[in-house]
Amino acid sequence: MENETKELIEQLATKLGTTTEYLWGVLIKQAPIYAMNSTLEIIAIIIMGILLWKTHKKLSIEDDNGRSLYYKYGELAGIPMIVAAIIWGIFFICAFFTFSNIITAIANPEYWALMKIMDNC
C-alpha cells in the first residue's frame, strides 16, 4: 500500500509539474482550511434550520378565529415550507456525513491528505 501511495503522489506531482514534497506540504496545509470551511458550512446549515423552524412557528400561530397564517395565505402556502424543509434535510444529512472528515483533518492531517489523494486518483 505504501508503494502504491508513493506512486500516486508522484504521478499527481508529475501531472501538476511540481515535486512530491511540495505537493504533500500543500495538502497538509489544506487540512485545517478544509476543517474550518466545513465547520462554517455546518454552522450555516444549523442556522438555516433554526430560521426555518422559527418561520414555521410564526406562520403556525393561530388568530382569534383559530386560523393560522398558512390558512390566510391560501391552501398552497405550506408547500414552500415543505420544499425548504426537504432541501434543508438534504443539506443536514450531507453535513452529518462530512463531520468525520472534519475531525480527521484536525486530528490527523497526514491521513486526511492521504485519503484525498487516494480519492482523487
DSSP letter at 86 equals H
For residue 109, give the H/E element and its range: helix 109-120
Count Cβ neighbours within 10 Å for each residue of 84-102 and write b for 16 or more, e otherwise.
Answer: beeebeebeeebeebeebb
Most confident of 9-23, 27-41, 56-70, 72-86: 27-41
Model pLDDT for residues 76-115, shown as the tens digit of each residue: 778 888 899 999 999 999 998 988 889 999 998 888 888 8
C-alpha 40/C-alpha 72 separation (Å) is: 37
